[in-house]
Amino acid sequence: MVAAPYGRSSPDPTVEVFGDAVAAAAARHLALAPAASMQELAAAAGVSRATLFRRFPSRAALVAQLCRAAAEAFVRAVEASVPEEGPAPEALDRVLEGLGRLAAVVGLLGLQPLHEHVEIELLARTAATEERLRRLVRRGQEDGHFRVEVDPEWVLTMLTWLLVGAGDSVRLGRLTVDAAQRHLVTTIETVLNRDGAERRGA
């Protein structure tokens, strides 16, 4: 039985992330069916295939726009968490809670093929934000809260692929949105925090 992706405590954030109902519906459907055709995406959005093609001249253009919106959501989530403020473990909590809420929406977009110039553009958009996360990890290591043997680059790698995995778990009905978010947070904190297990009650 497939678990319902969004419950009472997890409102669907796709319209906020992607800006309008058509793009949001396409993103939601791609999260459920990553190989969906433009016909299928149009049906999911409640518009004709011709209408969708007038807005997005190709599937690649649609995916590129959705990925740009996802990158901006990533930047906003980290910005809102203010990773430079407070003890590093508390700042990490805020970052992971903010990004975890995006997992079911944007996670599987990371597997969509992109033209090289779009990928370069997205990496440039997120570079400063990723550096803020590296600084957060280094700060926690210097303060003695985080394990020094865990490279900040590995933390970013874990975060990226856990977002993908969380999205896929929701797609397959293996986890609810809330459960996927909770496990993403717990996994990174347990790996990084010296007292990660105690902090999460494990």
Residue 83: inside a domain, yes or no? yes
Residue 31: inside a domain, yes or no? no
The conformation of residue 176, written as its DSSP 8-state character, comes to -
Residue 105 contacts residue 19 (beta carbons within 8 Å): no
Residue 181: inside a domain, yes or no? yes
Residue 72: inside a domain, yes or no? yes
Q: Mean pLDDT per 10-residue run, the chain (202 residues)?
A: 40 80 93 93 96 96 95 96 97 95 89 92 96 98 97 96 94 93 95 68 42
How confident is the model at residue 12, as a pLDDT?
A: 57
Residue 8: inside a domain, yes or no? no
CATH code of 70's domain: 1.10.357.10
pTM of the full structure: 0.85
How confident is the model at residue 200, as a pLDDT?
A: 45
Residue 24: inside a domain, yes or no? no
How confident is the model at residue 105, as a pLDDT?
A: 83
Angle at 112 between CA 57 and CA 69, to 5 degrees: 70
Angle at 113 between CA 109 and CA 117, to 5 degrees: 105
Residue 116: inside a domain, yes or no? yes
Q: Domain of 116?
A: 66-199
| Rounded distance between C-alpha atoms, residue 160 and residue 163, angstroms | 5
Domain count of the fold of the chain: 1
Residue 145: inside a domain, yes or no? yes
First to last CA, the chain: 28
Residue 185 contacts residue 96 (beta carbons within 8 Å): yes
